[in-house]
């Protein structure tokens, strides 16, 4: 699996933030296709590669990444591990999604007294 991460990182390193987001969306759709075919372990591998681009997106694209890729990928990872009977991993993926959602909501919370 580590080699898949390295390969994905190498493949995306020179892409613009928008192209990285598009790449992650393509990977997510591929994972969805595998999930529908009940190839849960393979879907997990593909979903995890989507997350390789997360640290390198830049601020504006990162918010879009969370909404369009990250939360659905984490939910799908939880569903795959649930299907495979890996309940602790299911809990971990679901918790990670909720933790990131809370953090993002906190960071985007408007400052009191400031009109939007």
DSSP state of 68: I
Mean pLDDT in each 10-residue stretch from start to end of the chain (116 residues)? 79 86 93 98 94 72 83 95 97 92 72 45
- pLDDT at residue 55, as a whole number: 63
Task: Measure the CA–CA gap between 85 and 98, rounded to whole angstroms.
Answer: 21
Q: Note the residue count of the chain.
A: 116
Distances, alpha carbon 11 to alpha carbons 29, 54, 69, in Å: 18, 14, 18
Q: Calculate the dihedral angle through the C-alpha atoms of 36, 39, 44, 46, rounding to the nearest 10 degrees.
A: -80
Which has the closest alpha carbon to 46: 56, 33, 37? 33
């Amino acid at each position: 699996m580590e080699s898949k991460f390295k390969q994905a990182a190498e493949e995306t390193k020179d892409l613009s933030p928008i192209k990285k987001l598009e790449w992650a969306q393509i990977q997510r759709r591929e994972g969805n296709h595998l999930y529908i075919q009940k190839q849960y372990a393979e879907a997990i591998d593909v979903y995890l590669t989507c997350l390789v681009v997360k640290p390198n997106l830049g601020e504006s694209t990162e918010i879009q990444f969370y909404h369009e890729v990250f939360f659905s990928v984490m939910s799908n990872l939880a569903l795959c591990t649930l299907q495979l009977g890996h309940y602790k991993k299911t809990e971990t993926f679901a918790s990670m999604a909720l933790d990131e959602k809370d953090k993002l909501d906190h960071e985007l919370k408007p400052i009191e007294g400031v009109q939007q």
